[in-house]
């Protein structure tokens, strides 16, 4: 394992105490939830499950734990869409707004809980009419439009598991995911608006099906941008045609607590993404609990906004399942923060009176670059709690968020978690915890985190590897179709512990400072990208003989992908070839995985045993300002690599 490249800020001394006014109104303002969970964490989670969710049949056993396999709330039956929708409507809250949706061009739709329920029932009937049954998997490849949560919730109504594929991914990524999960259906849209124009999706689905995903029988297409896509007869169906004939009656089927809810693919240390499995009762309990307490949610009055994309786990848990289970009003936004202007976020907050904003450090650093004038032009006083997720937040960004968005007083919750953990794991409680800028503070109630050293011994102060020592309700239940990989990836490094893949430090006050990944996974703008995956895409280019990828430091995106390549045979290094190689990776994996820089080198530095000296390559990348599109065949870089390799410098 290599050391994380990220700086640590544990000398940060500033502390921010929740204000008396905030604490007085907070959902919790003392340590009682922590104490309760500490005393008996199973009983604690059982209480949360019963209080936050509606069950068709109560569970008999809270936790059945046969390491590394957990079953939570065994014997219980419930339906996710019932918990997210019907029960709020039945309680007379059907006219409450579920989503204030805003398209990038400025079109707006307000959808109430009862309207959303009707759409979900109709679409569940559409799924049934296409022959989908409990246990089947469907892929969803959509922009941030309301049809996306409607499709997800319709799946949950009848026990179909969804596999949402981020709309920025490529045809190959769709093929891999559909083939791995043997999905029968792809739900997509013609396109979505991004940066002022229609970003096409349907042609990418067509390309994927041309490459080959034999399990896919049908494609449902929502019309978002009127791009008039080609529709393949007998295979492709319009969303609006199907919905026109669909009945609005569809009972929510009670599911076992451990029924598969969804798969979400994430990058690991190999070239093949892992299908992370989440199930029903435990997942919904933890996302509802954390959404309520970490954001201090007041469903009656709050207007909550998670500005992530539903294509990632943050959107699954904190745009769809947590907020709807808690019956709150959310904002959902289709586009980018600088379209048409750089104050789009602040304008949205002012328009809807947003009370919680949940975004990523990368976005905050971008807002910093755009200047304080942008937020200053808007009334942001409705905000009560600010959240961040996805990567370590540097104290400067934290303070900027605090001062310029939070008016110098709103609590900031830095939430550490993963696709695999399903919900928040490490975060402050806004009415309880004194925060330090840059620290995610400590584990939430009911979650037990330890740092360990190389030998697996618990570290009480200083650096270590982040592990989780007891099962938690929203933990992944496995990797789809690969039990061995599940054991190996998460449970084999430290006996009896879940290994998160992150490094962290504990300061003398017991605060955790997350340091980033310690494996071959990069974090670019809060997105996980595997070095191996990018390397294999690079060597898939006919001119590339060998490649090594590292995550260099980047002021904006946290890490940036730097690819070092050796060319094959007679290929000559040139700017054009480098750009072509970068574009090739973008085509293979999706734009987010396109290297920022490709460095063409005559050789890659290796240890005597043949291991690529990654640390050296990373240091070289960090030591120079590698440009955005530049392809370097810079002799000075090559010389530096050669010199340092011969001096034997690496981890
Ligand atoms: O390295 C950690 C980082 O993101 C990884 C998980 O990525 P993903 O599964 O894509 O989920 C992202 C959204 C939950 C972690 O292993 N990470 C996530 N949140 C934080 C973080 N690193 C530091 N601080 C955070 N708050």
How remote is the CA of residue 502 from the centroid of ligand 1, in Å? 9
Question: Is the predicted pLDDT of residue 8 greater than 80, yes or no?
Answer: no
Q: Which pLDDT score, from 0 to 100, does residue 440 have?
A: 97
Residue closest via CA to ligand 1's atom 8 equals 418
Q: Which pLDDT score, from 0 to 100, does residue 618 have?
A: 84
Low-confidence winner among 326-330, 354-358, 482-486, 637-641 (lowest mean pLDDT): 637-641
- Residue 623's pLDDT band, with cuts at 50, 70 and 90, is confident
Over residues 518-556, the pLDDT tens digits come to 888 899 998 989 998 899 899 999 999 999 999 998 989
- Residue 317's pLDDT band, with cuts at 50, 70 and 90, is very high
The two tokens of residue 451 are 């740092």
Over residues 436-455, the pLDDT tens digits come to 999 999 999 999 999 999 99
Ligand 1 pocket mutation, candidates 2, 427, 528, criterion most atoms within 8 A of CB: 528
Over residues 368-381, the pLDDT tens digits come to 999 999 999 999 99
Average pLDDT in the 57-82 region? 98
- Residue 6's pLDDT band, with cuts at 50, 70 and 90, is very low
Task: Kindly tell me the burial class for residue 238, based on how many C-beta atoms sit within 10 Å of its own C-beta (0-12, 13-18, 19 or more).
Answer: middle
Contact criterion met (CB below 8 Å) for 404 and 376: yes
Contact criterion met (CB below 8 Å) for 438 and 365: no
Average pLDDT in the 471-500 region? 97
Q: Which pLDDT score, from 0 to 100, does residue 649 have?
A: 58
Low-confidence winner among 57-71, 127-141, 421-435, 588-602 (lowest mean pLDDT): 588-602
Average pLDDT in the 251-261 region? 98
- Reported in sequence order, the residue ranges of 36-184 that DSSP labels E, i.e. its strands, are 61-66, 69-74, 77-78, 97-102, 108-112, 137-141, 161-164
Position with higher pLDDT, 619 vs 127: 127
Position with higher pLDDT, 607 vs 77: 77
Q: Which pLDDT score, from 0 to 100, does residue 633 have?
A: 57
Ligand 1 pocket mutation, candidates 416, 511, 521, 533, criterion most atoms within 8 A of CB: 416
Atom number in ligand 1 closest to CA 308: 13
Over residues 162-212, the pLDDT tens digits come to 999 999 999 999 999 999 999 999 999 999 999 999 999 999 999 999 999
Q: Which residues contact 468 (CB under 8 A, 6 or more apart)?
A: 421, 425, 447, 448, 449, 450, 475, 497, 498, 500
The two tokens of residue 81 are 């869409």
- Residue 118's pLDDT band, with cuts at 50, 70 and 90, is very high
Question: Is the predicted pLDDT of residue 11 greater than 70, yes or no?
Answer: no
Radius of gyration of the chain (CA): 24
Helix 635-646 vs helix 614-623: angle between axes, to the nearest 10 degrees?
140
Q: Which residues contact 231 (CB under 8 A, 6 or more apart)?
A: 221, 237, 238
Q: Which pLDDT score, from 0 to 100, does residue 573 have?
A: 87
Average pLDDT in the 603-611 region? 78
H or E element at residue 366: helix 361-370
**Interatomic CA distance for residues 196 and 210, integer angstroms:** 29
Peptide bond preceding 457 in cis form (omega within 30 of 0): no
Q: What share of the chain is helix, strand, coil (3-state, %, to 5)?
A: 35, 25, 40
- Reported in sequence order, the residue ranges of 349-419 that DSSP labels E, i.e. its strands, are 356-359, 385-389, 412-415
Residue with tokens 């990944």: 517
Contact criterion met (CB below 8 Å) for 263 and 79: no
Is any atom of ligand 1 closer than 6 Å to the C-beta of 519? no
Over residues 582-600, the pLDDT tens digits come to 999 999 999 999 999 998 8
Residue with tokens 């974090």: 523
The chain-wide mean pLDDT, for the chain, equals: 93
Q: Which pLDDT score, from 0 to 100, does residue 645 have?
A: 67
Residue closest via CA to ligand 1's atom 15 equals 418
Question: Is the predicted pLDDT of residue 498 greater than 70, yes or no?
Answer: yes
State the virtual CA torsion across 626, 631, 633, 638 in degrees, nearest 10: 40
Low-confidence winner among 241-250, 436-445, 593-602, 635-644 (lowest mean pLDDT): 635-644
**H helix intervals, 447-507:** 483-486
Atom number in ligand 1 closest to CA 517: 1
Atom number in ligand 1 closest to CA 514: 23
Question: Is the predicted pLDDT of residue 79 greater than 60, yes or no?
Answer: yes
Asked whether the CA dihedral 539, 544, 545, 550 is positive or negative, the reply is negative
**Interatomic CA distance for residues 265 and 176, integer angstroms:** 10
- Residue 615's pLDDT band, with cuts at 50, 70 and 90, is confident
**Interatomic CA distance for residues 366 and 563, integer angstroms:** 24
**Interatomic CA distance for residues 290 and 444, integer angstroms:** 8
Question: Is the predicted pLDDT of residue 627 greater than 60, yes or no?
Answer: no
How remote is the CA of residue 416 from the centroid of ligand 1, in Å? 6
**Interatomic CA distance for residues 325 and 81, integer angstroms:** 9
């Amino acid at each position: 394992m290599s050391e994380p490249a990220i700086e640590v800020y544990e000398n940060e001394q500033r502390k921010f105490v929740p204000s008396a006014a905030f604490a007085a109104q907070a959902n919790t303002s003392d340590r009682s939830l922590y104490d309760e969970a500490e005393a008996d964490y199973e009983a604690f989670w059982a209480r949360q499950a019963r209080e936050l969710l509606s069950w068709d049949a109560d569970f008999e056993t809270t936790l059945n734990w046969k390491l590394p396999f957990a079953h939570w709330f065994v014997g219980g039956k419930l339906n996710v869409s019932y918990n997210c929708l019907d029960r709020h409507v039945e309680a007379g809250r059907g006219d409450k707004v579920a989503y204030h949706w805003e398209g990038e061009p400025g079109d707006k739709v307000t959808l109430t809980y009862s309207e959303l329920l009707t759409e979900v029932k109709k679409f569940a009937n559409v799924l049934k009419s296409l022959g989908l049954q409990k246990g089947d998997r469907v892929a969803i490849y959509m922009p941030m439009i309301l049809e996306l949560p409607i499709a997800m919730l319709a799946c949950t109504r009848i026990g179909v598991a969804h596999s949402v594929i981020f709309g920025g991914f490529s045809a190959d990524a769709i093929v891999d995911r559909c083939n791995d999960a043997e999905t029968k259906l792809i739900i997509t849209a013609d396109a979505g608006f991004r940066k002022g124009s229609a970003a096409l999706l349907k042609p990418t689905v067509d390309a994927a099906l041309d490459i080959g995903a034999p399990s896919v029988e049908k494609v449902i297409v929502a019309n978002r941008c009127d791009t008039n896509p080609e529709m393949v007869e007998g295979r492709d169906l319009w969303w609006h045609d199907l919905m026109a004939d669909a009945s609005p009656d569809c009972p929510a089927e009670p599911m076992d607590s451990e029924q598969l809810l969804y798969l979400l693919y994430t990058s690991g240390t190999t070239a093949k993404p892992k299908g992370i499995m989440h199930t029903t009762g435990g997942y919904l309990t933890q996302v509802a609990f954390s959404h309520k307490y970490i954001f201090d949610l007041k469903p009656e009055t709050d207007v909550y906004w998670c500005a992530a994309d539903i294509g990632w786990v943050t959107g699954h848990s904190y745009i769809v399942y947590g907020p709807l289970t808690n019956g709150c009003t959310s904002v959902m936004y289709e586009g980018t923060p600088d379209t048409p202007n750089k104050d789009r976020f602040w304008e949205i907050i002012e328009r809807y009176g947003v009370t919680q904003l949940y975004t990523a450090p990368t976005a905050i650093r971008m807002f910093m670059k755009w200047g304080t004038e942008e937020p200053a032009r808007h009334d942001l006083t409705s905000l009560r709690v600010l959240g961040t997720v996805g990567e370590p937040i540097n104290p400067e960004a934290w303070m900027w968020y605090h001062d310029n968005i939070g008016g110098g007083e709103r609590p900031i919750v830095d939430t550490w978690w993963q696709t695999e953990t399903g919900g928040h794991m490490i975060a402050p409680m806004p009415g309880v915890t004194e925060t330090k800028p840059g620290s995610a503070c400590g584990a939430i109630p009911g979650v037990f985190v330890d740092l360990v050293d190389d030998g697996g011994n618990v570290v009480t102060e200083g650096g270590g590897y982040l592990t989780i020592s007891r099962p938690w309700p929203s933990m992944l239940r496995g990797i789809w179709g690969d039990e061995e990989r599940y054991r190996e990836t998460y449970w084999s490094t430290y006996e009896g512990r879940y290994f998160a893949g992150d490094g962290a430090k504990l300061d003398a006050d017991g605060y955790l400072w997350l340091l980033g990944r310690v494996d071959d996974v990069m974090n670019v703008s809060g997105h996980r990208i595997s070095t191996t995956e990018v390397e294999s895409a690079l060597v898939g280019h006919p001119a590339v003989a060998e490649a090594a990828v590292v995550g260099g430091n980047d002021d904006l995106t946290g890490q940036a992908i730097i690819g070092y390549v050796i060319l094959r045979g007679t290929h000559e290094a040139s700017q054009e070839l480098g750009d072509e190689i970068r574009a090739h990776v973008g085509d293979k994996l999706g734009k987010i995985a396109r290297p920022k820089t490709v460095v063409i080198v005559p050789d890659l530095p290796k240890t005597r045993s043949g291991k690529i000296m990654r640390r050296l390559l990373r240091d070289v990348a960090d030591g120079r300002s590698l440009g955005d599109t530049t392809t370097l065949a810079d002799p000075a870089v090559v010389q530096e690599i050669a010199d340092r390799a011969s001096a034997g410098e690496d981890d």
